[in-house]
A and B are shown apart, each in its own frame.
Chain A
Amino acid sequence: MNVLNQKNPVRLSDVTKYFESGGNRTYALKNISLEVGRGELILFLGPSGSGKTTLLTMMAGLIKPSKGSVFLFNRKVDTYSPKELQKLRACSLGFIFQTFLLIDSLTVLENLRVVLRFSGYPRKETNQKAIRLLQQFHIEELAGKFPVCLSQGEKQRVAVARAVANDASLILADEPTGSLESKQGFEVISLLKKLSETEDKSVVIASHDLRIVEFADRVFRLEDGSIRGNRPASFRPLKPYSASEHQIFAGNG
């Protein structure tokens, strides 16, 4: 396992991010301080434009804060070289997107293999490893299919498998249930929860889906770039996942 993966993956210390245009300053994040522990599932809730995605990209080291500090695996993000950041993304971070963003011209298996290649996995062994991953997520029958042939739910399951293919210790998910129906969304969030619980992976989700709240260890409500609350009672999901959906998950193992 990567040495980095032994450490707490992210810490934000009084982080502010603003963008300047034509002399005007627009704040995306204001004075955010928090730490993501190992094996935690953290949810950032908030409407569009609240700064959720900015926060995720900052946790991935893709943008730098205007003020404050971001620490990735106990090291200030500013001190990483572009090459080190690329290596970090390849080996220690996993990404899940609302629109899945699988490579359409590659099969499901190849979508996983390409990530394994980036993480430095021996080329000859990527096939076996990718098949094991598909088995782990019960989607081995999709191996030879192209993304265009998959349902939305299947695509997101493949995306989750891709996110953990490199044995990432931090998974950043941007609206992972945004394009999914209720049942499919439940399945995906359950998968992520399982990963955090059983494989000690830290999962950070940016979403406005209140039904995810019940799965999160901590919930932060973002508004206009600031954290307005930390899991108050009002965060209870409006329409929790149903018992039948829970059963489906249990059935899937």
Chain B
Amino acid sequence: MEVYAIRTLRSQPLRLAMTVGGVALCVILMLFLISVYKGVADGSVEYVRHNHTDLWVLQCNATNILRGSSFVTASQEKSIRELPDVKSVSPVLLVLASVQKDGKEKTVFLTGYDITKGSGGPPQLALGRHVQRDDEIVLDRSFAAKFGFDIGDVLHIQEHRMKVVGISRGTNAFVIQYAFATLRFTRKLVGFPGIATCLMVETNNRESLGKIAQQIKEKVRGVEAYTHEAFLKNNIREMESGFLPLLYTVAAIGGVVLTVILSLLLSVNILERRKDFSVLKTLGATGLFLKKMIIEQALLISSGASLTALFLFFPLVHVIGILSPEVSVKATIVHIIGVIFVVQVMSFFSALISIQKLRQIYILEVFR
């Protein structure tokens, strides 16, 4: 590491601090987006991932439960139940419902499931217990935290009075949170007895799931059957297609801002110290020496900024968790290393942009 690279940066401490701060904010933004993505990705599909079953049956052309609608009728359910390889069928009904408390309305993804079998219920309980009666409900943890619900609280869905008996985890899909009630209550809420969004099918022969899925499709009109893995993939794909482009755009903007800030600082440094660079050239500095110095400065700044960002990121996530519990953030070491690597690459790119300024510095300037 060239001492000149470090000294030049240190000679303008305020500017250095502002640059490191600016780059650190970009790093935090990128880390935050990646972590939100991971949190949302996990939260959105955790329900499906956890509720493992042999086959998921939905209305024909419906591929997932995140976007789009699916209605499976009671007669279709009966037909599937009667197929020879089918061991059991658990209907699940997912509807958007307004929860009222203290005159305010909040929307949840109300999931009605068969409480006698347990299939289709909350992936994990953070507090309390599962629903046992039609007037009981389990809420998502972040939803409960944001709107101040606790075990034992009472809320209303339409005119129905419900008691909060449990708080679930892994049920935050960012834009909406899951809530859980009995299938009977949910069907009553919709007004169509016997209707379901999807059916969770257990089979007698797990070796031939593809064959059974094909059999369901052929024998029961208007439905589609997926293996658990295929259905999980469908949901992940759906979640990514809706969310990732936005994430990438904002992350790309963060990267561009980072590159601009860094290029600007390095270019200003070069031009402000053009006499020094001119002297160094006169004294015999190679082009490689000067370029290396600029690259080292860029990497020093981005390393400092990355450390600052890491230092600030976790407390920031904690604060965001308090202010906006529905923002689910999940940072993994792989993601953090990935973001820091990208930042280093961007800073290298910034250095390459700034290095162009060296061409505008001439040896003869020292003789003026």
Residues of A within 8 A of B (CB): 53, 56-57, 60, 62-63, 86-91, 93, 95, 97, 101, 103-106, 110, 114-115, 117-119, 162, 166, 174
Contact = CB atoms under 8 A, between A and B. Distances in A.
Size class of the B contact interface (CB-based, 8 Å): 20 to 34
A166 B4 CA distance: 19
A102 B51 CA distance: 72
Contact of A57 (B10, B286, B367): B367
A86 B286 contact: yes
3 A-B pairs closest in CB distance = A90-B284, A105-B7, A118-B284
B283 A104 contact: no
Nearest to B273: A105
Contacts of A97: 366-367
Contacts of A95: 282-283, 366
Contacts of A106: 3-4, 7
9 contacts: A53-B367, A60-B282, A62-B282, A89-B284, A91-B284, A104-B276, A105-B276, A110-B4, A118-B284
Interface in B5-23: 7-8, 10-11
Contact of B279 (A53, A88, A101, A117): A101
A108 to B, nearest CB: 13
B266 to A, nearest CB: 15
B102 to A, nearest CB: 63
A93 B283 CA distance: 8
Interface of B: 3-4, 7-8, 10-11, 273, 275-276, 279-280, 282-286, 289, 363-364, 366-367
Contact of B367 (A56, A91, A117): A56
Given A56-B367, A62-B364, A115 B283 contact: yes
A90 B283 contact: yes
Contacts of B3: 106, 110
A87 B284 contact: yes
Contacts of A57: 364, 367
Contacts of B7: 105-106
Main secondary structure of the interface of B (DSSP, over half): helix
Given A56-B367, A57-B364, A106-B4, A86 B275 contact: no
Given A95-B282, A118-B284, A119-B284, A62 B363 contact: yes
A88 B282 CA distance: 10
A82 to B, nearest CB: 9
A209 to B, nearest CB: 17
Contacts of B276: 103-105
B3 to A, nearest CB: 6
B135 to A, nearest CB: 74
Contacts of A90: 283-285
Given A53-B367, A63-B364, A101-B275, A89 B8 contact: no
Contact of A118 (B4, B11, B283): B283
Contacts of A62: 282, 363-364, 367
Contacts of B283: 89-90, 95, 114-115, 118, 162
A118 B293 CA distance: 14
A121 to B, nearest CB: 12
B284 A86 contact: yes
Contacts of A91: 284
Contacts of A53: 367
Given A95-B283, A104-B276, A110-B3, 17 more contacts: A53-B367, A57-B364, A86-B284, A88-B284, A95-B282, A95-B366, A97-B366, A97-B367, A101-B275, A103-B279, A103-B280, A105-B4, A105-B11, A106-B7, A114-B4, A115-B284, A118-B285
Given A56-B367, A57-B367, A103 B282 contact: no
Nearest to B9: A105
A111 to B, nearest CB: 10
Contacts of B367: 53, 56-57, 62, 97, 174
